[in-house]
Amino acid sequence: GSVPIFPFKKVDDIGNRSEVKEQDACLGKQLTLLEEAEGGFDQFTRSYKGYGVQRMPDNSLVFKEWAPAAEALFLTGDFNGWDNFSHPYSKKDFGKWELHIPPKEDKTPAVAHNSKLKVVVHTSAGERLYRISPWAKYVTRHEKSVIYDWVHWDPPQPYIHKHPRPQKPRSLRIYESHVGIASPEGKVASYSNFTHNVLPRIKDLGYNCIQLMAIMEHAYYASFGYQVTSFFAASSRYGTPEELKELIDVAHSLGIIVLLDVVHSHASKNTEDGLNSFDGSDSCFFHSGPRGEHSLWDSRLFNYSGWEVLRFLLSNLRWWMEEYRFDGFRFDGVTSMLYHHHGIGSGFSGDYTEYFGLHVDEDSLLYLMLANHILHTLYQDCITIAEDVSGMPTLCRPVQEGGLGFDYRLAMAIPDKWIQILKEFKDEDWNMGNIVYTMTNRRYGEKCIAYAESHDQALVGDKTLAFWLMDKDMYTNMSALIPMNSVIDRGIQLHKMIRLLTHGLGGEGYLNFMGEQLQLIQNAAAHGNNESYHYARRQFNLIDLDHLRYRQLYAFDRDMNRTEDKYGWLATPPAYISAKHEGDKVIVFERANVIFIFNFHPTNSYSNYRVAVGPPGKYKIKLDSDEIQYGGHGRLDHNTEFFTEPMEFNNLPNSILVNKLYYLLP
């Protein structure tokens, strides 16, 4: 049932927020409507148990669809010899259609597991269309075909989860992953490969959360899963639904939670194997006319005010939580949802007029509030992350306050800043204050996921940080058996420092895209690459070779995460920055009683460098990017103990002298 929504508590820096109060009232009204019409959101979001195809206890089958513009609906498939007329649906109220098929004489279901089906839609214009059910749980593509087929998935022995969900971690360390490229081989890798070969590495690296992209079925592989065609189907190109369930179950056994990269911001324009024109009309699940089209993405836009659209999308979230036991979602394309202009041609300066007004899409806003409210009410430990580049206020405040209810937002400015610095500035011209500003520019009380790079940098036409730093030298000079040249030396040292600075300063969670901690070779999708999978892979085998420096970067990434796990800085308030010295190129900050010291100067080392400290006592080195095992030069003595002096420095009561603060290269 519903939970009372409390009035918005005024936030000082936003001022009078009548719009937010109105949003809050709309949410309360929507929950009341759900209560009256559907018996509450719990029942409403279980609609996947009524729509599509359902097997009854007596093995009869019930098929149910919503196709308001259709004149007639029929079911065809392997089971009836592809007869287009033998199995008509009956028309019900509100554009719904139902078909009951009794069991066969031997009491088995009339439609066998793994057999193919199609919905035949007759339109008012006299057209006959062949469609996949929007609720299809499994779709496959024959090797030589372009179109996906609806396959009835009802295995005799469905996978049973053995392990409970892990508790929500206090610090979120996310490993963003794509199953298809998670193999050294030039092919589309499988769920089973990920389960057996990649999960142990993720556990060893100290990540406690996996964010799986490209799971919702998408006909075009090179879209990386962002042009969804079947919303309830786990992509068959990696294996079966049961194998994905096993992947998540094994992750849970390792104490790792799994988030789904969910795409509810738009849908593929495909008609024969997508949602588009399901009932022959321009609308159905989408807005008709220009409002229903995304000009930049060439895709369709949902009508979030539609009752059956809400049923479909909210049930979709519930389906992935219940059936596959995902632990939450990273919502893709939230900026596009929030505004009628979809962020196209809009530079967001942070002025509050940009976030409130007629250009805000209130239907989308309400959908996101509803989704977060329902998920967090039903699943106490559910985690939701918003991909929003605009900086919409209250995005990560509870709906009880009038916020949108996300737990975290992606700190999207941070990777952009690192790429900009590496593209545009010499090492000696790096601006410490500007870097620190970008790392810390977030609203207090709205949690951010910090990252130096994600799939956006690695896959979407740009170069990884490693490539910006080292480029072609990565192919020829990564051997640990030869002295490092200056390009590799600088690249390796900066790569570690960029990651640690982002980890410590940039947010309340940390994300890394699969393999980038190793600087593995830049990737591209097979499409647009002469159908070659040469770049669409991850060469994890390079880590296992003692003589290559990838192993050293792996070790640093692992120990950085394990150090955070011990001290928990991500779960604490933002850092106190005591130094961002432009001349020295030094950044010093304190978080979770850990002191972070960075010397970014390309040529200057410092002796007896005074560093401000809050709590008095003895300090020791716990993580040192210059260690030999991390590809460093081993210049610091880890047995040294640093004792504080009651000498006020940079507005903190105590300070210590660091005997050596080495510059980047020896």
Indicate which residue of 65, 217, 332, 456 is catalytic. 332
At 248, list the tokens: 């998540």
Closest listed residue to residue 329, CA positions, set 337, 320, 342: 320
Q: Dihedral (C-alpha) 163, 168, 172, 176: value to the nearest 10 degrees?
A: 40
Other residues' Cβ atoms within 10 Å of the Cβ of residue 421: 19
Identify the CA nearest to 312 among candidates 68, 101, 26. 68
CA angle, 440 then 360 then 349, to 5°? 35
In DSSP terms, which residues pair with 117 in a beta bridge? 77, 150
CA distance 192 to 190: 5
Pairwise CA distance, residues 451 & 415, whole Å: 6
> Of the listed 308, 387, 407, 489, which one is catalytic?
387
The answer to whether the beta carbons of residues 101 and 110 sit under 8 Å apart is yes
Residue closest to 103 by CA, chosen among 135, 70, 56: 56
Three-state SS letters, 123-146: ECCCCEEEECCCCCCCEECCCCCC
Report the C-alpha gap between 547 and 549 in whole angstroms.
7
Angle (CA) 524-560-441 rounded to 5° is 75
Ordered DSSP codes for 408-443: EEE-THHHHHHHHHHHH--GGG--HHHHHHHHH-S-
Is 58 an active-site residue?
no
- Cβ–Cβ < 8 Å for 317, 367: no
363 — phi, psi (to 5°)? -65, -45
What is the β-pairing status of strands 116-123 and 149-151? Answer: antiparallel
Rounded alpha-carbon distances, angstroms, from residue 600 to 151, 498, 541, 650: 56, 10, 32, 20
User: Which residue from 104, 345, 486 is spatially nearest to 354, judged by alpha carbons?
Assistant: 345
Return the SS3 of 448. strand
387 assigned to active site: yes
CA distances from 573 to 208, 424, 499, 581 (A): 20, 32, 19, 23
Write out the two tokens for 187.
């092919």
Whether the Cβ atoms of residue 394 and residue 404 lie closer than 8 Å to each other: yes
- 123 near 129, Cβ under 8 Å? yes
What the block records as the tokens of 633 is 């030069």
> How many separate helices (H) and strands (E) can be counted in the chain?
15, 28
DSSP 44-88: HTTGGGTSEEEE-TTS-EEEEEE-TTEEEEEEEEGGGTT-SSSSB
Stretch (H or E) spanning 455: helix 455-459
What's the one-letter identity of residue 430? Answer: W
Give yes or no for a contact between 11 and 405, defined as CB atoms under 8 angstroms apart.
no
Q: In terms of Cα–Cα distance, which of 477, 559, 550 is closest to 516? A: 550
**Would strands 328-331 and 257-262 be described as parallel, antiparallel, or unpaired?**
parallel
Paired tokens of 441: 């520019």
Annotated active-site positions, please? 332, 387
